[in-house]
Structure 1
Amino acid sequence: MENPSFRDIVRVFGRIGLVSFGGPAGQIALMHKELVAERQWINEDQFLRALNFCHLLPGPEAQQLATWIGWRLHGVRGGLAAGSLFVLPGAAVMLALSIIYVLAAGVTWFTALFLGIKAAVLALVVQAVLRIAGRALTTPFKQTLAVASFIAVFFFNLPFPVVVLGAGAIGMIIAAWRPEWLTLKVASEGGVASAPTRISGTMRIAALLIGAWALPFVAIAIMLGPDHVLMQIAAFFSRLAVVTFGGAYAVLAYMAQEAVQTYHWLRPGEMADGLGLAETTPGPLIMVTQFVGFLGAYRLPDPFSPLVAGMLGALVTTWVTFVPCFLWIFTFAPWIERLEHAKRLQGGLAALTAAVVGVIANVALWFALHVLFWRVGLVHYGQLRFIVPDLHSPNLTAIALAALAFVLLFVWRIGVVTMLGLCGMAALMLRAFVHM
């Protein structure tokens, strides 16, 4: 088939953006069905090559894959349209849900509803650990890396960026010394050739996108000063955009720790609420960052009203989270084949992915302790620093709801949005029964 028109790209990716539920696996499958199997806009080799390339990059791989496909078909204009349309519907829904969340805060039925959502999120995080572990931990060395990363994060409280970037550096060394420990697959010489590359054009696009990335910093510094909460939000989520390997689950505990303990944007437990909201929206799960940015600005609103400040916080967060995704694609896509044949880079990515399994396991345990117990304490023992539950404070309602969530997800294999809804309804019914 001939290349689609730009209008076709806008129409199809607009529809994909509205129905792209189910996390990256479901979103990638949807794009494959729509763009490879049905419309044949790109072929199977192109799709798989691009998907492997997107796995090398920080950020949501499904959104980056959409951007790459748009770029492949209609250049920068197509990439901007496809990538933006993949994100904007979910961003709009997430903003609306965040506003409802703060307006209904303190209402008893709303609190009960979100206890059910927290229990469902716990099951989803455990599912993510098992799914990624099955795909990533294919050798004893990778399994050792996953365990080591869990110990480093949970027991030694090492920051997420240090753990994953350190694992990536180790993987690059191992790729040259013992590549079989990582079961690396070198890209075949066949397949579709890369688009012609011009260094001057690549550098020009990169400079424009770096300028766009920096735009909120300049605007905030001029109008509000360098110490305003919006500047903190822009800086924090810009740093996160550079190290977000492994998706939203991987950075969740680090993001929650910083948002709760360092910046005081969120209260304990609210990160689970945000993830539950993000699970119900189309688009990338990393949209949970918008929820955090909204609450951070909402609670420190001066000189705006809380709602205006929250919306500005959400806008700044979304901008600095997703503009880098376009930067990575438009800068590196012309060099895709060279990247795919870089053994050390592949080794770094394989090790990093293994480490992410341990990081997500830490998130699962962190959520379990905070959801299933009323009180959680921090223990210091030499260099060790980890949380433990108060065994005399089990949250029996949360435990029952979590058991229901695990049955729905692992036994009956119900879809994510349906499972979230059923757990929320069960929580409301339990609340009504207790009151009776």
Structure 2
Amino acid sequence: MTYSKDIYKEICLVFAKLGLFAFGGPAAHIAMMEDELVTKRKWLTKPDFMDLLGFTNLIPGPNSTELAIALGYKRGGKIGLFLAGICFIFPAMTIVLLLAMFYKQYGEVPLIETIFTGIKPVILAVIIQALFRLGQTTIKDTKSLLLFLAAYLLSLMGVGEITILILTGLMMLLIQQSAKWRSRHLAVEPMSLTLLFLTFLKIGSVLYGSGYVLLAFLQAEFIDRYVALTSTQLLDAVAIGQFTPGPVFTTATFVGYLIQGVPGALLATVGIFLPSFLFILLLHPLFNKLRSSKLFAGILDGITVASLALMASVSWQLGMATFVSWISVLIFAVSFIGLIKFKVNSSYLIIMGGFIGWLVTML
């Protein structure tokens, strides 16, 4: 199938924009993709979006980046796959690289966290809006609602994401089948570029879960095993990845720069994201075939419910960390009303929130 240059251009513009404004981690990225690509641009339906979300949740690596790659594949084939992934990663990688240069020069993280204080309430509003919209499609009956509540409670109890996804998928399959039967400060040592690349390649190939899981992998590899970073540097790297836009895995860019400068930053970024491109490229065609199987379809229905529950659990945790003052509550309320009633573009609200967060800190 051939695709026009206009489609490729649209993919580049959309995912570069998302990569620049997608603050708040995977749940926020997913919510913004749903708003931009399902609601506004009509690239795909809500059920198709939830299917891709369930699919990418089962693959190791950064879920929201893999979702962007899969969406690019669906819109523009193999070229669209690479364009979407690169355009989504590049803005965040550039910002993190610049901050890493500043950090290495001055030994501290710039005070952009004050801006993020105003952005977090906007992100929470975006996520909750997406939960409502996707929930209307995913929670179709009583059994879906019960599975959603069970998965949500398991997540709050600290059960692993993959365990929840698999259990919910199998439970949905059992429910559907039964209905048919009845009718995861030390001295720093040098580390080569090759070893740096291979280490991040390994992490990108096997890591499931959130930024906290990434922290555990980085601790094990770069502090405990190779002694290439200090604990303070590692915590600052993860903090940068958390409050800059785009994929949290761009923490790799920061770590790579601290160890081997710009070449290290680039190789670390390529290493951690390369498996995601390959997983989607190789497995997406297989996924399309499996979706037509009634057996796999039942499991995937359960996984999509669990994916929504995991987003809801993240929303609760983000809410607990966000509502720290009356200003944050006010920003959330204005953003939520703007999104629901007036259909305001979330990018404008993020800029507004960041400005207010900076302004309040300065006063």
Give TM-score, length-normalised by structure 1: 0.61
Q: % of aligned pairs identical?
A: 13
Q: CA deviation at 1:421?
A: 0.5
Q: 1:427 aligns with which of 342, 357, 362?
A: 357
Q: CA deviation at 1:272?
A: 4.7
Q: CA deviation at 1:86?
A: 2.4
Partner residue in 1 for 2:243: 273
Partner residue in 1 for 2:113: 111
- Does the 8 Å CA contact 1:171/1:344 hold for their aligned counterparts? no
Q: CA deviation at 1:416?
A: 1.2
Are 1:223 and 2:229 matched, yes or no?
Answer: no
| SS of the residue 1:414 aligns to | coil
Q: CA deviation at 1:417?
A: 0.7
Q: 2:283 aligns with which of 328, 338, 341?
A: 328
Q: Indicate how the Cα distance of structure 1 residues 32 and 364 shifts in structure 2: closer, same or farther if over 3 A, else same.
A: closer
Which amino acid in structure 2 is aligned with residue 234 of structure 1? L
Q: Indicate how the Cα distance of structure 1 residues 289 and 411 shifts in structure 2: closer, same or farther if over 3 A, else same.
A: same
- Partners of 1:29 and 1:129 in 2: CA distance: 13
Which amino acid in structure 1 is aligned with residue 194 of structure 2? M
Q: CA deviation at 1:343?
A: 1.3
Which structure dedicates a bigger proportion of its chain to helix? 2
Q: 1:292 aligns with which of 245, 248, 251?
A: 251
Give unpaired runs (5+ residues) of structure 2.
Answer: 19-31, 57-62, 183-190, 220-233
| SS of the residue 1:178 aligns to | helix
Partner residue in 1 for 2:295: 344
Q: Indicate how the Cα distance of structure 1 residues 292 and 164 shifts in structure 2: closer, same or farther if over 3 A, else same.
A: farther
Give TM-score, length-normalised by structure 2: 0.72
What's the C-alpha RMSD, in Å, of the aligned pairs? 3.6
Partner residue in 2 for 1:173: 174
Q: Indicate how the Cα distance of structure 1 residues 88 and 124 shifts in structure 2: closer, same or farther if over 3 A, else same.
A: same
Residues 126-137 of structure 1 correspond to what in structure 2 (within 5 A)? 126-137=128-139
- Partners of 2:215 and 2:50 in 1: CA distance: 35
Give unpaired runs (5+ residues) of structure 1.
Answer: 34-43, 71-78, 182-219, 244-253, 279-287, 373-393
Which amino acid in structure 2 is aligned with residue 160 of structure 1? E
Partner residue in 2 for 1:64: 70
Q: 2:206 aligns with which of 231, 234, 239?
A: 239
- Does the 8 Å CA contact 1:153/1:160 hold for their aligned counterparts? yes
Which structure's CA Rg is the greater one?
1
- Partners of 2:166 and 2:317 in 1: CA distance: 22
- Partners of 2:11 and 2:42 in 1: CA distance: 11
- Does the 8 Å CA contact 2:204/2:276 hold for their aligned counterparts? yes
- Does the 8 Å CA contact 2:118/2:355 hold for their aligned counterparts? yes
Which amino acid in structure 1 is aligned with residue 136 of structure 2? G
- Does the 8 Å CA contact 1:269/1:370 hold for their aligned counterparts? no
Residues 47-62 of structure 1 correspond to what in structure 2 (within 5 A)? 54=52, 57-58=55-56, 60-61=66-67
The total of aligned residue pairs comes to 312
Partner residue in 2 for 1:9: 4
Q: 2:310 aligns with which of 335, 355, 359?
A: 359
Partner residue in 1 for 2:150: 148
Question: Could you list the runs of 4 or more consecutive aligned residues of structure 1 that deviate by over 6 angstroms after TM superposition?
Answer: 47-53
Q: Indicate how the Cα distance of structure 1 residues 367 and 296 shifts in structure 2: closer, same or farther if over 3 A, else same.
A: farther
Partner residue in 2 for 1:160: 161
Which amino acid in structure 1 is aligned with residue 270 of structure 2? L
- Does the 8 Å CA contact 2:109/2:240 hold for their aligned counterparts? no
Q: CA deviation at 1:368?
A: 1.7
- Does the 8 Å CA contact 1:179/1:347 hold for their aligned counterparts? no
- Partners of 1:13 and 1:142 in 2: CA distance: 37
- Partners of 2:46 and 2:153 in 1: CA distance: 34
Partner residue in 2 for 1:36: none
Partner residue in 2 for 1:192: none
- Does the 8 Å CA contact 1:14/1:86 hold for their aligned counterparts? no
Partner residue in 2 for 1:18: 13
Q: CA deviation at 1:424?
A: 0.9
Q: Indicate how the Cα distance of structure 1 residues 233 and 407 shifts in structure 2: closer, same or farther if over 3 A, else same.
A: farther
Q: Indicate how the Cα distance of structure 1 residues 180 and 81 shifts in structure 2: closer, same or farther if over 3 A, else same.
A: farther
